[in-house]
Structure 1
Amino acid sequence: MAIGPGEGPRERLLEAGIRLLEQDGPEALNARKLASEIGASTQVVYTHFGGMAGFYQALIRESFVLFGERLRAVPLTDDPVADLLALGLTYRENALTNPQRYRFMSGVTAPGTGVVISHDIIAEGTPSVLDDVNATFLPLVEAVRRAMAVGRMRDDDVIGVAGQFWSMIHGFVFLELAGVFGHEGHGVVHVLAPHAVNLLVGLGDEREAAEASALAVAPDPLVPEGVTIPAAGSQQPRRGRRPGR
């Protein structure tokens, strides 16, 4: 469950962690700063999380809970392929709206945390040792399963196919956040949509049907309101200390 108002020290620390992460990046995540945000001593971090490693894992979990709420808000239609693509666009919107949190969730900006949450998705059927992380993958799996059931994809390894779509949107988002596709969202039209259609055709869909599904969920505007995609070559400011210090 996401954090609500009037919660105790543990929840307030997580709320402060998410706020600091988005404002100042992962370098701001240290016990002293977190404790000061809620008017407590650093002991509160160790009391409720056992230390910063425990806090990092809890923050990752809470970040995925919030992400999961977004995914569950995506309405289901009678077009499972459009629903699948809509999940991908929600993934992108979440990343663009919360870029520091997204990088942290992906393990890119969490140096020195000592937290390992991933395992072999092909062997295990899920991407993580954490249920809250897996809960964000299941809607993708279900959309793929529905698409196969109605003949929009040939019968295949559901987990593997879901992994293909996840890899597609994950890679696109990282490049977009780096400014590779410009800052006006044109990569959605010229890269992501054609990539998705080509992948769907390769998985057995008719090109015309795949294009219609992609058009049905095309984002307008291309970039979410209030979001600025950095220009290529620019760097986010790095403030504060390394995590945990």
Structure 2
Amino acid sequence: MRTLLIERAAHMLRTREPITLRSLVAGTSVSTMAVYTHFGGMDGMWKALRQEGFTRLGARLATVTTSQDPVRDLTALVAAYANNALQHPDLYRVMFDADFGLEDAQAADDTLEYLVQAAERGRRAGRFRADIQPLELATQSWVIGHGLVSLVATGPLPRETLDYGTTLLTALFISSGDQPDTCHQSVEDGWKQLLATG
């Protein structure tokens, strides 16, 4: 029942239907009391909706296998982020709505940590300069993925816009110390994950 309500609320957001306690349960076999039982009210439901978005993102990032190529892995994580947004556009829209907190704020931090670890591996392997801060590089990578997919998943641009990801990530990683030829191949290999599961 909890999942049903979360999915329904996300769908209503996407279709721009007004969400009230009554409209949320309309047409279902669920009573308004269920919203209080499972979420403590509408504010709790919004928190749960955001939480579900980060939970699904974390689960998606966890499926990215670690290879011997950390630049490929970092790229694959950005591709997985984009895939998650495309597969769950309703939840993606509300994930970054700061009007409501999260039930578990650490879950959001944990998603970024996947990228931080890949960036750290890249630095240790000599692919990135020693002075590169993994958190900064991970954040910059995330920004590229977020910007592109926001324009596609919930915005006005066609899916082909995501093709710019390889160019943008390659430029970022080369500026961080990676060698152009090696970098280009790693990014291409990682970005293929977007096509493989998208």
TM-score grouping bracket, smaller chain normalisation:
0.7 to 0.9
Which residue of 60, 65, 87 maps to 1:97?
Answer: 87
CA separation of 1:82 and 1:21: change in aligned 2, threshold 3 A: same
Provide TM-score, normalisation by structure 1: 0.70
Q: How does 1:1-245 map to 2 (within 5 A)?
A: 12-22=1-11, 25=14, 27=17, 29-36=19-26, 39-107=29-97, 114-116=99-101, 130-155=105-130, 156-177=132-153, 178-180=155-157, 182-183=158-159, 185=160, 187-189=161-163, 191-219=164-192, 222=195
TM-aligned CA distance change 1:139 to 1:216, over 3 Å:
same
Q: How much is the aligned-residue C-alpha RMSD, in angstroms?
A: 2.6
Local SS of the residue matching 2:192: coil
CA offset at residue 23 of structure 1?
6.2
In the comparison of the two structures, how many residue pairs are matched? 195
The answer to which of 74-83 and 215-224 deviates more is 215-224
Instruction: State the one-letter code of the partner of 2:10.
Output: L
Q: Which runs of 5+ in 2 are unaligned?
A: none
Indicate how the Cα distance of structure 1 residues 204 and 37 shifts in structure 2: closer, same or farther if over 3 A, else same: farther
Deviation at 1:71, TM superposition (A): 0.8
Shift in alpha-carbon separation, 1:150–1:37, aligned structure 2, 3 A: farther
TM-score by length of 2: 0.85
CA distance in 1 between counterparts of 2:191 and 2:88 reads 21
| Identical columns (%) | 30
SS of structure 1 residue aligned to 2:10? helix
Unaligned stretches of 5+ residues in structure 1:
1-11, 118-127, 226-245
Task: Please state how far the C-alpha of 1:22 moved relative to its aligned partner.
Answer: 3.2
Provide the secondary structure at the position in 1 that maps to 2:182.
Answer: helix
Structure 1 residue 188 displacement after superposition: 3.4
**Per-residue CA shift, 1:92-113, capped at 9, x if unaligned?**
1111122121111122xx8xxx
Q: Aligned partners of 1:199 and 1:55: how far apart in 2?
A: 38
1:94-145 per-residue CA deviation (whole Å, 9 max, x = no partner) reads: 11122121111122xx8xxx4145xxxxxxxxxx971221221111111111
